[in-house]
Chains A and B, each alone.
Chain A
Amino acid sequence: MSTQAQRATLQRRPLVKKILEGADDNLLVIAGLGSANWDITAAGDRPLNMPLWGSMGAPVGMGLGLALAQPAKRVLVITGDGDMLMSLGSLATVAAQQPDNLAIVVLDNEKFGETGNQATHTSPRNNGPTDSGAGTDLAMIARGCGIADSATVREASEVAQLVKDARTRKGPVFRLVKVMVEKLDFVMPPQDGAHLKDRFRQALLGHA
């Protein structure tokens, strides 16, 4: 069987590391639960990272509320396809606000990694009885919601541009990145939500 997932060649860890390289106080990062959380933490835990350990479906909304509150900062949401599928409507809410400082990067491995790599709806259809999805195209959904600057990244040659788009391109920006299914180490940030929130606010605002 030839599937999109098998064709994906990009590895999420080095990719996220490149996106976050040289992150300064201007970059505010929110990561969805599971792999995206471990990915941004593997790139280097920092107070201006808000890695979620739960709250599936929350990252895009959090990113929007933060982007509107901090228009002079860059807000980057990094999450997975499973998380994104749980809050498709939030893309329409982002489009209605058109925050020019918000970028959303969805790492799409077409699997629910935390529960045993079951197919998400972004997996191809007709992929066997236990591994079929719907071929859902999240970049097309984002564009359909009204985020005009929405694109899919598949090739290593596109990564340098992806990094620029995530960090500096006028938002709202949506990038769907097709990544490999991999077994990777858990690299965990602090878990306490109140602590993560307080250290973020302390670093950003000077008080918790």
Chain B
Amino acid sequence: MNAVATIDWHDQIFETLQDHDVKQVYHVPDAGHGKLIEACQKSNSIRTLALTTEEEGIPLAAGAWLGGQRSVLLMQSSGVGNTINLMGMTKTLRFPFLTLITMRGDYGEFNSWQYPMGQGTPKVLEAMGVLLYSVDNAAEVKATVDAAARSAFNGGQAVAVLLRQKLIGIKNFGKK
């Protein structure tokens, strides 16, 4: 194994979220974010909320901010479309918003059903005024999430980090 392959970027994201005093983490079940979600669930300093749809994450983040807490929404690119109408709240209320998105339909995807929303993800987020950070290299995950958190919580922006499929690995359901 080379040095890059041994970097545990899930752990690094967890540490970065803690460094930025994130108190509420919203998610739907996701293999790509699985290890991070587990770390959050086991943490005493973070409240982890399972959602019925990604859309719930936007008003939750707005409510948390009204109450003085920082939050993050973890989702897959397939869930991004569910959030778009309420994503407008980040503009209307002008509150800091951070989302980390594991990409599907992106790099070597085998499932054709993942391509429409995966390929549409950057465009629809941009259309809603969300700043995009993108990372496909494990060595750059920590710095990228840290910069995104600064843009959000210090700069007051709505920010999405796209964790590219090249980083996460290609899901193949056991096929070669």
Contacts and interface: CB of A to CB of B under 8 A. Distances in A.
A57 interface: yes
B174 interface: no
B24 to A, nearest CB: 6
A196 B93 contact: yes
Given A66-B66, A69-B69, A205-B68, A193 B60 contact: no
B58 interface: yes
A65 B62 contact: yes
Interface string B62-100: 111111110100000000000000101100111100000
Interface residues of A, number: 35
Contacts of A87: 55-56
A69 to B, nearest CB: 3
Given A62-B62, A193-B89, A193-B92, A70 B67 contact: yes
Given A55-B89, A193-B92, A61 B66 contact: no
Given A55-B86, A58-B89, A66 B52 contact: no
A10 interface: no
A54 B90 CA distance: 12
Interface in A161-208: 193-194, 196-197, 200-201, 204-205
Contacts of B94: 193-194, 197
B23 interface: yes
Main secondary structure of the interface of B (DSSP, over half): helix
B50 A57 contact: no
Contact of B56 (A69, A73, A89): A89
A175 to B, nearest CB: 20
Contact of B59 (A28, A59, A68): A59
B59 A61 contact: yes
Given A61-B56, A65-B59, A204 B67 contact: yes
A50 B68 CA distance: 15
A97 B50 CA distance: 9
Contact of A197 (B23, B53, B59, B93): B93
Contacts of A64: 49, 60, 63
A61 B58 contact: yes
A181 B156 CA distance: 41
Interface in A57-101: 57-70, 73, 87, 89-90, 92-93, 96-97
Contacts of B89: 55, 58, 193
A70 B52 contact: no
Interface of A: 28, 30, 50, 54-55, 57-70, 73, 87, 89-90, 92-93, 96-97, 193-194, 196-197, 200-201, 204-205
Interface of B: 23-24, 47, 49-53, 55-69, 71, 86, 88-89, 92-95
